[in-house]
Structure 1
């Protein structure tokens, strides 16, 4: 295969990887047996400057866990579910571009590589961060997942973004340890 095509393919793959959304961040107690979990209860929603989102997220967590087969059973839960919610300004976007070109002129060929940096433009946006925490009945942290989503205003778009963020986080629960 032509070396310039290999380089172009490599940069294309890197560009696609850079454009992919970042997955939620999770961590868990590797010594805990998650296969025994059946029943959960939600801890009270945190006091926040965005109580509508807090209630929306609490309800979505409960729906998502129920759809995974867990039962909301406050009398004898196997695990407790809480979350934190934070809102912060999201930095303005700035773009870095990498260009790669090849060409020939007569019997000569060449490869060109260049970069361009865009200055931050656009308006300020807000980012909401959801941190879901799973505790055993003694309130020892056994799992946690964090994700964020952008929003400029409330309503349906914000509700859908929150729903998607919760689903992305809980897609990682319960953890599936790597097989050795």
Structure 2
């Protein structure tokens, strides 16, 4: 019976680690994030990179809409004019990565539950793929100093359906901004 629970636990760990999106954050610990109430975008559009898949005005609009929506849900107000407490900027880049396809974990139980086993396999081929990396910065409006940076990466996918593209972008931005504002250290 212990073997069964171990196998289920191991499988759950493997499955939970396969979301495809990795996020992290960095911030100035002296910042009073509770005082940050209003924002505006630092620039009208993302700076051009020369990569057509990145320099897509539709992607820019989707990223900005997702950030605006999530900040609004967190209680921040967007200023078009006036003096906000912080500025928002982002950068989206593609990087080529090397990965292995395949691999996995399996488990089974012998007859009448008396024997069991776990098998772990590794991928047998190596491939190159593009990874999209989205970095969102919150900058002090007065001093222009970086207050918070959230980064998320995921395999880059192109779809023939804009709804799928929008879903991917929303999920990436949601996971990045789930870290903001950062929890106060104890």
**TM-score band, normalised by shorter chain:** 0.7 to 0.9
Supply the distance in 2 between the matched residues of 1:11 and 1:83 (Cα, whole angstroms): 37
- Length, aligned pairs only: 174
Cα deviation digits, residues 20-75 of structure 1 (max 9, x gap): 45452112222211000111110112223323223432343233323322122242
Q: How does 1:132-151 map to 2 (within 5 A)?
A: 132-137=136-141, 138-149=143-154, 150-151=156-157
Q: TM-score, normalised by structure 2?
A: 0.76
Supply the distance in 2 between the matched residues of 1:72 and 1:82 (Cα, whole angstroms): 13
Supply the distance in 1 between the matched residues of 2:93 and 2:130 (Cα, whole angstroms): 10
Q: 1:42–1:62: 8 Å Cα contact kept in structure 2?
A: no
Q: 1:46–1:83: 8 Å Cα contact kept in structure 2?
A: no
Q: 1:8 to 1:167 in 2, by over 3 A?
A: closer
Supply the distance in 2 between the matched residues of 1:22 and 1:146 (Cα, whole angstroms): 10
Residue 46 (str. 1) matches residue 47 (str. 2) = yes
Structure with bigger gyration radius: 1
Tell me the equivalent position of 2:133.
129
Shift of 1:110: 4.3
Superposition RMSD on alpha carbons, in Å? 2.8
Shift of 1:19: 3.1
Q: 1:30 to 1:51 in 2, by over 3 A?
A: same
Q: 1:4 to 1:155 in 2, by over 3 A?
A: closer
> Which residue, out of 117, 120, 128, partners 2:122?
117
Q: 1:79 to 1:127 in 2, by over 3 A?
A: same
